[in-house]
Structures are given as C-alpha cells and as structure tokens.
Amino acid sequence: MSKRKTDSSSATGIAENMKKGITEMLILAFLNQEEATINSIVKKLDECSDGKCKITFPYATIYRLLDNAYIAESEKRVADNRRRQFYKITDKGRKYFAQMRSEYMNFISGVDMIFDYIDAEE
C-alpha cells in the first residue's frame, strides 16, 4: 500500500508548501548573521517564531543550498559536547538571500494590501 501525499489543498498541505518556499530564506537569514550548525539553526527558528516555524527535516534544504554554492561547510567545532559541522553563507548566498528577502517583502506587502482591500469591503 502506498503512502498518500499531503493534499496541497488541505490546511496542512498549504502550510507545508509555504514552509518549503521560505525555508531557504530563513536558513540563509541566520547564516547571514553567523556560522552555525544545522541543529542550532533549527532550534533558533523554533525559538524565534515561538514554535510556529518548525523545520523537521532541514537536510534537503541544506543540501540544495550547498549544491548551489549559497552556503559552504565551515570548520568542525565542538558544540553541545560533540564535534559538529558548521556552515557559513557565501558571497553568492548573500546576494541570493538579499534577492529572496526583497521579493518576499514585496510579495507580502501586496498580500497585505489585498487583505486590507477585502477587509474594507466587508
């Protein structure tokens, strides 16, 4: 028996699609501040969003960012009493992040304008 994919029209499916769309941007935002491990990024996302931006499997996004040279492996260091791989943003990644953030802010601004219009009509 095959597993069914999450229906993209369900509330869960919509949330998953939105997560995939902005996960790269959020990871790059933290790496733009400082080098970090995958686990520390996931933890910061959870804490800073009060649990609203949980990423349960960040590795696909990390590998995609690595493959596109937006991030690079940094040195391995001891963190949480274990040797951990740290990642850093590249110059190419900084440019990509700036473009993504600008597009995101522009889009969200338009969405807010639409909701303001709809709310005013009610």
Side-chain-side CA neighbours of residue 19 (13 Å): 20
pTM for the full predicted model = 0.80
**Which pair of tokens denotes residue 26?**
């959020």
- What's the pLDDT score for residue 1? 43
pLDDT means per 10 residues in the chain (122 residues)?
55 75 92 95 94 87 96 90 94 96 94 95 84
CA–CA gap between residue 28 and residue 98 (Å, rounded): 10
- What's the pLDDT score for residue 79? 76
| 24-37 as b/e: b if 16+ CB within 10 A | bebbbbbbeeebbb
Please give the CATH number for the structural domain made up of 11-121: 1.10.10.10
Instruction: Please report, for the chain, the start and end positions of each structural domain, with discontinuous segments joined by +.
Output: 11-121
**Which pair of tokens denotes residue 115?**
């909701």
- What's the pLDDT score for residue 25? 94
Alpha helices in 1-90 (DSSP H): 11-33, 38-48, 59-67
Is the separation of the CB atoms in 17 and 8 below 8 Å? yes
